[in-house]
Amino acid sequence: VAELPGLDARRVVVAGGSQGGGLALAAAGLLGDRVAAVMPDVPFLCHFRRAVQITGEGPYPEIAKYLRWHSRHRVEPTFATLDYFDGVHFAQRATAPALFSVGLMDPICPASTVYAAFNHYAGEDRTMTVWPFADHGGGCGSNPPVQLDWLAERGLAPEQ
């Protein structure tokens, strides 16, 4: 994390929803101990193979369509390439405290793909907020208070 005036590098938190959640996992995995915490909400870009097999929403059907036409020789090389971007692999490298969220009715980022990243997360301090009836919006407006409470428990809440 670059030195910026007024920045307390010990309090940098990466967060985002959907694609931003996948990118937050990537940042946490790549930056290591330079990240104080990570909060991926309904993270996209996790467990590509599983997502392609079970969902017909979002961009995953594009991969299925490609593989339908090229499946004879391209399945394994395709997933090997996607592994470079898979949040599960970034999660395996990340150790900062993590607060994930998942919508159990999410057709774009199926819960099993979010749990794959969560279950492979290398950090010991990891929590999952489950929104049982939520779709890709996750907890929507209910999630920020959960996040702020979680950050406060770790001494990382924004100063009032």
The 8-class DSSP code of residue 158 comes to P
Helix, coil or strand: residue 53: helix
Which listed residue (89, 112, 135, 136) is catalytic?
136
Among residues 86, 101, 106, 120, the one annotated as catalytic is 106
Give the count of beta carbons closer than 10 Å to the beta carbon of residue 30.
12
Token pair belonging to 66: 């490609």
Q: Which of 18, 47, 101, 120 is catalytic?
A: 18
Catalytic, 18? Answer yes
Contact 79, 55 (CB under 8 A): no
Strands (E), 29-108: 37-41, 98-103
* Residue 136 a catalytic site member: yes
Q: State the catalytic residues.
A: 18, 106, 136
